[in-house]
Amino acid sequence: MEESVKIEAEGISEEAEEKVRENEENPVLSVRNLHTSFFTDSGEVKAVNGVSFNLKKGKILGIVGESGSGKSVTAYSIMQILADTGRVVEGEILYNGKNVLKFNKKEMHAFRGDKCSIIFQDPMTSLNPTFTIGSQINEAIMLHTDRKTRKAATARSIELLEMVGVNEPEKRISQYPHELSGGMRQRVMIAMALACEPDILIADEPTTALDVTIQAQILELMKSLQEKMGMAIILVTHDLGVIAYMCDEIIVMYGGRVCERGTADDIFYRPCHEYTKGLLRSIPNIENMKERLVPIAGSPINLLNLPKGCAFCARCDNAMKICLEEVPPEMEMPDGHFASCWLNVKKAAEQEQAEKQAGAAAVKAGADTTAAKADEKTGEAEV
C-alpha cells in the first residue's frame, strides 16, 4: 500500500507546485526552497529546511509554530541579519524578482529599512537604553530617506509617533526607553519600522511581552497602518489567536519545514496535518471548557539530527513506516489549501483505488446485464 502511496505522491506534488505557481501573481517577495543553517562546535543546526512562500502586495502572511520551528530564522534570513554562525546554504529570496542573497553591501543597506523593515520581539532589548527615542528614530530617517537634516528628521519622528498613537510625541522624543511602558516602547519600534514607508514589514512576535489589552491595541494599530499604507506584512508568532485575527494566509511550520498553508478558515476549520490538529487541540475554547486539554506528546526534534522523513513523525500518533523514510510532498486538499502529510497522500490513493474498483464493478455489472439480455433474446429465438 505504501508503495502506491509513494507513486501517487509524485504526481500530486507536481500538480500542487504547478497550481501554486499559477495562483501567485506578481508577489512582492518570493522565498524559494530556503535552507538556513547554523554551524556550531556541535555540528550543523539545520534551522530552516526548504521553506517556500509568496507574499503579495498589501497582504498579511502569518507564520506560526512552536519555539524552534524556524519562524524567526526565516524572517532573519530575509533581512540577512543572521548571527555570525548562520548562513543561507540553499534557495532564493526574491524581492520584486531580484535575488536578495546576491545583493552587495550597498544594495543590502538600501533593501533594509527602505524596502523591508522588522519589528523585533522585545522592544526593551531592541532599543538602545543610552539614546533618546528621538535620536534613534532620527537615525533611521536620516539613513534611509531624503530627510538629511536633524530638524526635518525630528519633525518626521513626531509625525510617526503621532501616527502610531503615542501621546505627547514632542515630549516622548526626548525620553529614554526605560521611561516608557512596554506598549509605548512597542509603538516606538513600529514607528521606527515605518519611518521609510517600506514595501514589506516583518513583525517578529510583536505582542509577546505585552498584556492582552495592549496586544489588541498593537494588532489593531498594525492592521490599520497596513490598510492605510498598502504594505505587505509577515507576522511571525506562536499565538494562533493573533494569526486568526490578522492574516490573509497562514503557514504552519515545524522542524524548519512548512506543514500546512491556507487561509484562516482552512487552518482552523479544515486542518489536514497532524501537527496543525495537535496545535488546535491544545487551545481552550468555549466547547471544551470542562475537558482536559490534549498537549502534543513528546519533545521538539533535535535540529542537529533531523529525521530522514517527516519531522513530526516521532510525535505523531498516526505515523506510518513511510513517514520515517520519506519527506511528504505538499499536496492540494479538496478545498484548495495545501498540506504536507503522508496520511493525505494515502487517503487520496485509497479514494482513487476505490473509484477504480467502483468503475470496474460498474463496467462488469453492465457487461453482465448485456450478456443476460443477449441470452434472453437467444432463448426467445430458439422458442
**pLDDT tens track for 325-376:** 999 999 999 888 999 999 999 988 888 888 887 777 777 776 666 666 666 6
Q: Which three cell numbers stand for residue 82?
A: 543572521
C-alpha 301/C-alpha 46 separation (Å) is: 11
pLDDT on residue 62: 95
pLDDT exceeds 80 at position 130:
yes
- Find the mean pLDDT for residues 244-261: 93
- Find the mean pLDDT for residues 132-158: 90
pLDDT on residue 367: 64
pLDDT on residue 215: 82
Residue 118 makes CB contacts below 8 A (sequence gap 6+) with 75, 79, 81, 193, 201, 202, 203, 204
The band of 286, judged by pLDDT with boundaries at 50, 70 and 90, is: confident
The percentage of residues in the chain with a pLDDT greater than 70, rounded to a whole number, is 88
The band of 288, judged by pLDDT with boundaries at 50, 70 and 90, is: low
Q: Identify which of 12-16, 291-295, 315-319, 354-358 has the greatest average pLDDT.
A: 315-319
C-alpha 129/C-alpha 85 separation (Å) is: 27
pLDDT on residue 23: 44
Q: What is the pTM of this model?
A: 0.83
C-alpha 79/C-alpha 368 separation (Å) is: 68
Task: Report angle CA 123, 127, 128 to the nearest 5 degrees.
Answer: 150
CA atoms within 13 A on the CB side of 2: 10
* DSSP H/E element including 98: strand 98-99
| pLDDT tens readout for residues 29-67 | 999 999 999 999 999 999 999 999 999 999 999 999 988
Q: Considering only residues 4 and 42, tell me which one the structure prediction assigns the higher pLDDT.
A: 42
